[in-house]
Structure 1
Amino acid sequence: MFTGIIETQGKVLKTKAIDSGIEFQMEAVWENPDLKIGDSVSINGACMTVTRLENKGNHFDFYTSFKSLELTNLSLLKEGEFVNLERAMSQGQRYGGHMVQGHVDGVGKVVSRKTIEVNSVEEFWIEAPAELSKYLVKKGSITVDGISLTIVDVNENLFQLILIPETIRKTNADRWHQGTVVNLEVDILAKYIENFLELRFSK
């Protein structure tokens, strides 16, 4: 389980295609490195497992299967690119974002980006897959490339985000532009409610 509060960015050092997917070698600087082999790490919002460690966890590997590659933007990653990283929640930590599973529901595409000079924030409009539009709610939560964000406005399957300079600085959102493919995870609470209602009214 994650919170959607990005800890650091990681750099893709190497990718290696294997029979069942892709192996990635990553470089990252953690404030308090404590990664262990087998730990879960959110990579652009996708929960992956650490398979190898070096340099106190500042170099680590993970593997992603073809199924995960189909559902996420990880298949688009190239050497030298940066991703958002968050370690799994630890007991007693502050819960600053929202409940994030690291199970990507699909990919979206950045439609536009605009700087609002008055308060130096960035406005993004992102297109979600049509099947996710029912989960897009004004002032609701959504995870974009692993970042816990609040939806400002909705227009069918388009949703608006306003990102403050601190979010831009700490995440890979500073590299988002028109056409960028991003990972989306909708609010798990909305899916629980949907499932409950479907079961209730199907009887």
Structure 2
Amino acid sequence: MFTGIIEGKGKVIQIHPIDSGIEFQIITEWENPDLKIGDSVAINGACMTATKLENGGNLFSFYTSFKSLELTNLSRLTEGDEVNLERAMAVGQRYGGHIVQGHVDGMGQVLSRKEIEENKVEEFWIVAPEELRKYFVKKGSVTVDGVSLTVVDVREGAFQLILIPETIQKTNAKHWAKDKLVNLEVDVLAKYIENFLELRFSK
């Protein structure tokens, strides 16, 4: 379980294809480096398992299967790319975002990006895959590359985000240029409600 509050960014320093997928190596600087082998880490919002560690977890590896590569933008990572990182929630941790599972539902594409105020606030429009569009509502929650965000508006298959400078600087959002593919996880509560209604009215 995650919150969508990004702890920091990591840099991809090694990509190693293997028979069943790809092994990535990431370098970062955790505020409290306590990562252990087997721990869950959200990489751009995709829940992965730490498989190798050095320096208290500031250098770690994870494996991604071909299925995960198909569903996420991890397949497009190259050495030197920045990724958003969040370790799984700890017991008693303050809950600052929304319920994030780390199960990416699909990829969206950045349609536009522009600065809308002098204080560097930026507007993004992102096109969602057709099968996910029903889950987007104004003031609803969405996870984009692991970042918990609020949907400002919805229009013609795309949704609007407004990001403050702090969010842009602390995440890889500074790289969200036009046509960039980003990982999306829709609000799990919306999926539960949809399932409940389908079961109820199918009787």
Aligned to 1:5: 5
Aligned to 2:168: 168
Aligned equivalents of 2:86, 2:101: Cα separation in 1:
12
Aligned to 1:105: 105
- In the TM superposition, what whole-angstrom CA distance separates every residue of 1:128-163 from its partner, at most 9, and x where no partner exists? 101100001000000000000000000131000000
Aligned to 2:115: 115
Aligned equivalents of 1:199, 1:176: Cα separation in 2:
38
Letter in 1 for 2:110: V
Aligned equivalents of 2:37, 2:143: Cα separation in 1:
26
How do 1:1-203 residues align onto structure 2 when only pairs under 5 Å count? 1-203=1-203
Aligned equivalents of 1:167, 1:115: Cα separation in 2:
14
Letter in 1 for 2:107: V
Task: Verify the 8 A CA contact 1:146 1:183 in the aligned structure 2.
Answer: yes
Aligned equivalents of 1:131, 1:156: Cα separation in 2:
13
Aligned equivalents of 1:200, 1:118: Cα separation in 2:
50
Aligned equivalents of 1:3, 1:157: Cα separation in 2:
26
- In the TM superposition, what whole-angstrom CA distance separates every residue of 1:92-121 from its partner, at most 9, and x where no partner exists? 111000000000000000010000124420
Aligned equivalents of 1:151, 1:59: Cα separation in 2:
34
Task: Name the SS of the counterpart of 1:183 in structure 2.
Answer: strand
Aligned residue pairs, count: 203
TM score, norm. by length of structure 2: 0.99
Task: Name the SS of the counterpart of 1:193 in structure 2.
Answer: helix
Letter in 1 for 2:92: G
Provide structure 1 residue ranges, at least 5 long, that are not aligned to the other structure: none
Task: Verify the 8 A CA contact 1:136 1:157 in the aligned structure 2.
Answer: no
Task: Verify the 8 A CA contact 1:132 1:157 in the aligned structure 2.
Answer: no
Moved over 6 A (4+): none
| Cα distance, 1:66 vs structure 2 | 0.3
Task: Verify the 8 A CA contact 1:137 1:151 in the aligned structure 2.
Answer: yes
Provide structure 2 residue ranges, at least 5 long, that are not aligned to the other structure: none
Provide the aligned C-alpha RMSD in A.
0.6
Task: Verify the 8 A CA contact 1:42 1:87 in the aligned structure 2.
Answer: yes
Task: Verify the 8 A CA contact 1:133 1:156 in the aligned structure 2.
Answer: no
Aligned equivalents of 2:111, 2:201: Cα separation in 1:
37
Letter in 2 for 1:69: L
